[in-house]
Amino acid sequence: MTRVVKTKIEIEGRVHEETVVVERNEPEAWEAGREFSQVGKSANRVDGRERVTGAARYTYDMHPPGLLYATVLRCPHPHARILSLDTSAAERLPGVRAVLSKNNAPDISWYAGASKLFDEELRFAGEEVAVVAADDLDIAHDALKLIKVEYEVLPAALDMDKAASPDAPVIHPKGNVLLDNDGNRGETYSRGNVEKGFKSADFIVEGTYRTPTALHNSFETHGCVASWEGDEVTIWESTQYIFGVRGRVASALKLPVSSVRVISEYMGGGFGSKGQTLKHSVIAPLLSRMSGRPVKYMLDRHEENLLSGNRGETVQKLRIGATKKGKLVAMELETLCNIGAYGTWAASVAGPAQELYACPNVRTYTLGVRTNLGSHAAFRAPGHVEGTFALESAIDELCRQLDMDPVEFRKKNYAEGDQVSGKGYTSKYLLESYDMASRLHSEAGEPSLTKLPPGNWKVGTGMGSQVWSGGGGPPAHALVRLNSDGTVEVMTGTQDIGTGIKTALSQVAAEELGVPLESVRFRLGDTQKGPFAPASWGSITVPSVGPAVRGAAEDAKQQLLEIASYFFEVPAKRLQIKDGYVTVEGRDEGKRSIGDVLSEVGDYMIVGKGFRGPNPAEPLRTWGAQIADVAVDIDTGRVRVLRVVAVHDVGRVLNPKGLASQFYGGILQGVGLALMEDRVVDERTGLVVNANLQDYKIPTMSDAPEMIVRAVDIPDTAANHIGSKGAGEPPIIPTPAAIANAIYDAVGVRVRNLPVTPRQLLDTLEATGVEARQPRERSS
Amino acid sequence: MQPAHQDSDVASVAMTALSGIQLTVNGKAYSVQVSARRTLLDLLRDQLALTGTKKVCDMGHCGACTVLRDGTAVLSCLTLAAACDGADIVTVEGLAAADGTLSPLQQAFIDCDAFQCGFCTPGQLISATALLAENPAPNREEIQAYMAGNLCRCGAYSGIVDAIEQASKQG
């Protein structure tokens, strides 16, 4: 029986209440220790063949007949106003089919009302001035050179201190800093009495920590292909959220949602940046309507790195205090977050300080600051990676002062429940993570140094731990169709952004139905084929869509067994499906395949429906611990990460092989953030000078450490009925902190700025006179 | 991103002049007209509808567009199409046998979960094919050194090394 309920959902540190439809009772939770035939077994990607043969067609590969190519004239100044704009010469160039700019574009509000699709005031270098659609990209680029623009260059604010100061040029209609719900500058959280807490502290660690602006650099850039047929537009889009794009395009173009179809069947990575709808998703349909031809509008690598989002830099002033017995008594954190020109939220940098340790007195303050640079976007555990780097560095420093083992300290300050909400967690296996990581690390022995190039190498070990959401929630829906020939189709409007969700959720459907994995066709990434599923962000897809898929499979199975009971002449509850055959429980003879049953009933198609039910009242969290071994060449300042041991509590594991890949990927991106990734802006011109894959460094195969990864693998049956939590984001969170702590262990200096470049490390070594210092003896 | 030139000195006449070339791609002969500016990557993707080869940086930085040209791995985004007259090109679409049987490397990539989003995979597979042609039994360090120019943002590197090792043992 359908009912409507309110439930709380947390995505990437932000909680909201959602009113959701509950269609019926959900299936019973898969209990701990249950024997599975598919779930928990390592499976190859169900679409592996398509991905290794070039047959997988991504947005970038779509090529409808008559395709035009769009490219963009972008503002070359960090802050400017267009005084005049003449596109007429470009329009006359042979092969140019449509030009769109402020001169002819419809008035469409953008950036939460702060700007327009084509505005006269431009607030970062890279904002759209005019877009050309032409027969090929060369003609389109030629046409851009024929556009005449006159700018009034306006004062810009490029760094956070300047932008947040009272005499800064106003760069945004709503001001340069984010306000809280009461209109105060920034967000404050407080519990206990921090001043009193610090008075009772015997040891206090204090420092300013900086994390860089990091660029996602998804390998498929943002972009889309738009094509009209009658009054319906199809948009192939490289997105983490097909329903988000559909809604935004429909409202911008004043179309019913049924006239907008968004498809993202194969998608070349997003890491958070593709949860938003960027302007190209609206501009391409407009150009297509103007020209009467399909239009492809993909960003190039340079553009991708200017405007598609970033992990905004942070500056964190952190102070923590503990008693001489090693009990945390106070923490205070003040953070500035660079949210770029149009940011509307600040990342949850304060989350770890609020939750990771038991501490009675905590105050955090977070101020999001707008600057004349590309806006930030969610980037794999936004905020928590940055906040964990600072917090876990300070905890490590405190452990040194206390002369306490870092694991012992963490156990001593273990938070049983959530100190923010005052409730218990649905599950928390962080102690198990600490113990497993320590055991795996000691079992692995000393890392090999033989592969290091010649150098004056010092080795060290450090750890970090992690709290993050990842519990998911409604709404999320799925359908399971059983066709008359026995084939199974799962349909849901989620998208596989590269995580392998299609494989893991196929396993869930096959498990519940009792069919082999190969017989499941999983259809996703098409707003016309599947019911609503949420954005692929916040590590929510497995715990949100997974239960919906299982529910749909269970519904389809029940319908099938009720039909089969007529032929078997026994009640449905005595029937089961095993290996694709319906049998009477406990008997193998007389079995019938699903196709045999359904073909008896007039080519009948079963449609099972499933949904994600409301969340429990308790907060849902993922947990984990990592231990890194590094080598530091004190002559060159170079750091090599030798090994990372990672153990995370992400509930029940669906596909161990796919999960390991998620862990590897998170750790690698953590290595990048720790050692090399940093967007560089020229402070004179406001231009990004390394918006490419040569000057912006990401880890290569040679930078990959040995990685030993495990999940605790205890189901969270209170979280949802498949017992799984999300796993995409947790593994990046502790990595930079563990590496920084290992560097301290190796050379005895504390690095508080990421990335730890050779230059920074050499300077720090020199400033602290490390040559005279003996690194602390290793205690692994 | 193109800078905002205020003049109109576009020398597009010479640039758009077409030249005819003949080349073989995955064993199939093609005769095509290409402009002077067209890269091999765009020829493959936009004119020959072979979209398996991916455009990621278009600047020779990432390795995703790697194809075999006369048996040698080249970056198709830095190769002008007009210079490919008479060339024998192999792309990811040409790695499997005619009956669809995957090459040992392709199968090993699936078995070892050597990709996540799969966008760099075609370039990884071609580079790995070239590696095994040069060095049929590389050790892990040799694999890492040879493949370091093929970037993967998802971080599937350990699976890729495993896959190349597995395939080399079968080859």
Q: How far is B95 from chain A (nearest CA, A)?
A: 7
Residues 100-139 of A with CB under 8 A from B: 126, 129, 136-139
CA of A139, closest CA in chain B: separation in Å? 8
* pLDDT average, residue stretch B42-49: 97
A498, A712 Cβ separation under 8 angstroms: no
pLDDT, tens only, A123-158: 999 999 999 999 999 999 999 999 999 999 999 999
Check: CB of residue A724 under 8 Å from CB of residue A180: no
Pairing of β B18-25 and β B88-90: parallel
Q: Say whether A499 and B91 touch across the interface (CB within 8 A).
A: no
**CA of B17, closest CA in chain A: separation in Å?**
12
Partner residue opposite B145 with nearest CB, options A60, A702, A707? A702
Which residues of A are less than 8 Å from B62 in CB distance? 219, 693
Closest-CA residue of chain B to A219: B56
Q: What is the pLDDT of residue A207?
A: 98
Q: Identify whether the C-beta of residue A409 lies closer than 8 Å to the C-beta of residue A417.
A: no
Q: Residue A264: which of A494, A565, A514, A32 has the closest Cα?
A: A494
Distance from CA of B71 to the nearest CA of A (A): 19
Q: Which of A701, A703, A706, A708 to mutate to test the interface with B (most CBs of B within 10 A)?
A: A701
Interchain contact, A660 vs B113, CB within 8 Å: yes
Out of B5, B53, B148, the one facing A145 most closely (by C-beta) is B5
**How many Cβ atoms are within 10 Å of A726's Cβ, its own excluded?**
26
Kindly tell me if the per-residue pLDDT of B4 is higher than 60: no
Identify from A44, A46, A52, A709 which residue to disrupt to test chain B contact, counting B C-beta atoms within 10 A and taking the largest count: A52
* Chain B residue with minimum CA distance to A136: B46
Whether residue A61 lies within 8 A of chain B, CB to CB, comes out as: yes
**DSSP of A3-56:** EEEEEEEEETTEEEEEEEEE-SPPPPPPPTT---SSTTS----TTHHHHHHT--
For an interface test with A, the pick among B38, B43, B154 (most A C-beta atoms closer than 10 Å) comes out as B154
Asked if B151's CB is within 8 angstroms of A704's CB, the reply is no
The set of residues, in sequence order, having a beta carbon less than 8 Å from that of A325 and lying 6+ positions away, is none
Locus of tokens 């002049």? B17
Quote the minimal CA–CA distance from A664 to chain B in Å: 6
CA distance A171 to A174: 9
Task: Answer whether B91 sits within 8 Å of A60, measured CB to CB.
Answer: no
Phi, psi of A330 (to 5 degrees): -160, 145
Q: Does the reported pTM lie above 0.90?
A: yes
Quick check: ipTM above 0.85? yes
Type of residue at B100 = G
Nearest CA in chain A to B126: A52
SS (H, E, C) chain B: CECCCCCCCCCHHHHHCEEEEEEEECCEEEEEEEECCCEHHHHHHHHCCCCCCCCCCCCCCCCCCEEEECCEEEEHHHCEHHHHCCCEEECHHHCCCCCCCCCHHHHHHHHCCCCCCCCCHHHHHHHHHHHHHHCCCCCHHHHHHHHCCCCCCCCCHHHHHHHHHHHHHHC
In the prediction, which pLDDT does A768 show?
A: 83
Q: Which residues of B touch A268 (CB under 8 A)?
A: 54, 117-119
List residues bridging with A148 in a β-sheet. Answer: A86
The Cα-based distances of B69 to A393, B73, B85 in angstroms read 50, 6, 11
To the nearest whole Å, the CA of A679 is away from the closest chain B CA by: 16
Closest Cα of chain A to B19: distance in Å? Answer: 16
Write down the pLDDT at residue B20: 96
Give the pLDDT score at B133. 97
pLDDT score recorded for residue A774: 47
Beta strands in A136-181 (DSSP E): 148-153
Q: Which residue has the tokens 């009990």?
A: A327
Low-confidence ranges of chain A (pLDDT < 70): 770-780
**B67-71 long-range Cβ contacts below 8 angstroms, 24+ apart:** B67/B40, B67/B91, B67/B126, B68/B126, B68/B129, B68/B130, B69/B40, B71/B130, B71/B133
| Range 306-365 of A in CB contact (< 8 A) with B | 306
Ramachandran angles phi, psi of A776, nearest 5°: -60, 145
pLDDT at B2: 45
Distance from CA of A587 to the nearest CA of B (A): 36
Chain A residues 217-236 with a CB less than 8 Å from chain B: 217-221
CB atoms inside a 10 Å sphere around CB A374 = 29
pLDDT, one tens digit per residue, over B118-142 is: 999 999 999 999 999 999 999 999 9
Name the percent of chain B lying above pLDDT 70.
90
Q: Quick: pLDDT tens for A209-230.
A: 999 999 999 999 999 999 999 9
Q: Does A65 touch chain B (CB under 8 A)?
A: no
Residue A269: which of B55, B93, B154 has the nearest Cβ?
A: B154
User: What is the tens place of the pLDDT at every residue in A242-278?
Assistant: 999 999 999 999 999 999 999 999 999 999 999 999 9
Evaluate if residue B7 carries a pLDDT over 50.
no
Answer yes or no: do A142 and B10 touch at CB < 8 A.
yes
pLDDT at B94 over 70: yes
Q: Give yes or no for A449 touching B (CB within 8 A).
A: no
Nearest chain B residue to A139, by CA: B12
Query: Inter-chain contact A498–B116, Cβ cutoff 8 Å?
Result: yes
